[in-house]
Amino acid sequence: MSRRLRVAVLAGGRSSEHEISLASARSVLESLDPERYDVVAVAIGRDGRWELGSGGGSVAETLPVPAENAPAALGAVDVVLPILHGPYGEDGTVQGLLELADVAYIGAGVAGSALCMDKDRFERVLRESGIPVARSVTLRSGDEPENPFGYPVFVKPARLGSSVGITKAHNDTELRIGVELAFVHDEKILVEEFLDGTEVEVGVLGNRHPIASLPGEIVPLGHEWYDYSSKYDEGGMKLVVPPDGLSEETIARVQEVAVDAFRLTECEGMARVDCFVVDGDVVVNELNTIPGFTSTSVYAKLFEASGVPYEALLQRLIELAVERHERRSKLRY
């Protein structure tokens, strides 16, 4: 019998999505089959400190130098699962550290992670390839609020998640307050036209030839839009898989667009692509390279409904990580 794969799960992290990451990682830890995997958990604090193993083990810094334990421990496992959301986790920084440690890891690489974290750059790449995205203006700190689209508009930090710092502005006053709030979280923000349609999310799984899950419709319950509490409060939303009102052609189109977006942005492993269907057209809102990953998160539910249960999903992601690492280790540079 082959030996068990040594797997490290990174959990927590510096971003405001720290708690969400802990919940995702808890689900992952519970679902990794101990017969197959030898698992170590690495908790990353909001202050960025790494804690190896469970129960107050050794503590290391986030950077490989001068930390003693983190890179050594990371290099000593077969696969790393960075179950981290948002800045300093989903944005290419941790992925860079893992590349330096020469270890396989699940999810997008450095460039794909950084690109998809940045809604401004992401939208430009899609637009250039003819994939519809919302019209938006990009503001940098110090810029005056601007809205050429009429109301309502969405104001968002360029690089965050979980709806943190996002405002649906209905008038000039809300726009001004929304711009101020978004600048608390990032020095680059977007003012985006309102997409008035059906909000759908779709899971993507694979490396260079990925598959798409069935899409699911996001129906916020008791919330005007899919804000933080709609996302995470019990009963804050309903996921309808597949969406009731969409034709088979539209569903196929959503899947096709999601896979195109995934490949165009150099993603590998997994992603959740968030879209709107507006008058039959698929408009991409954003792409998450490390989507919420509990067993009841949208990503897991979408694949479950598509015939890939949570444990199999994890197993597949680990295989994909190993495959990429082996593939890339043959390259000369």
What residues line the site for Mg ion (CB under 5 A)? 274
| From 33-41, 103-111, 177-185, 189-197, span contacting ligand ATP (CB under 6 A) | 189-197
Which x/- pattern, by CB under 6 A, does the window 220-259 give for ligand ATP? Answer: -----xx---------------------------------
91 or 274: CB nearest Mg ion: 274
268 binds ligand ATP (CB under 6 A): no
198 binds ligand ATP (CB under 6 A): no
285 binds ligand ATP (CB under 6 A): yes
**Cβ–Cβ under 8 Å, residues 96 and 80:** no
What is the H or E stretch that residue 193 is in? strand 188-193
Distance between CA atoms of residues 192 and 189, nearest Å = 10
Min. distance of Cβ 143 from ligand ATP in angstroms?
A: 19
Which x/- pattern, by CB under 6 A, does the window 148-167 give for ligand ATP? Answer: ------x-x---xxxx--x-
Min. distance of Cβ 192 from ligand ATP in angstroms?
A: 4
265 binds ligand ATP (CB under 6 A): no
91 binds ligand ATP (CB under 6 A): no
Closest to 92 measured CA to CA, from 69, 65, 120, 111: 111
Residues with Cβ < 8 Å from 55, sequence gap 6 or more?
none
DSSP secondary structure, 72-115, as one string:
HHHHTSSEEEEE--STTTTSSHHHHHHHHTT-EESS--HHHHHH
Q: How many helices (H) and strands (E) does the chain have?
A: 10, 16
Q: Tokens 């899609």: give the residue.
A: 126
Which residues form the interface with ligand ATP (CB under 6 A)?
134, 154, 156, 160-163, 166, 192, 194-195, 199, 225-226, 274, 285-286, 288
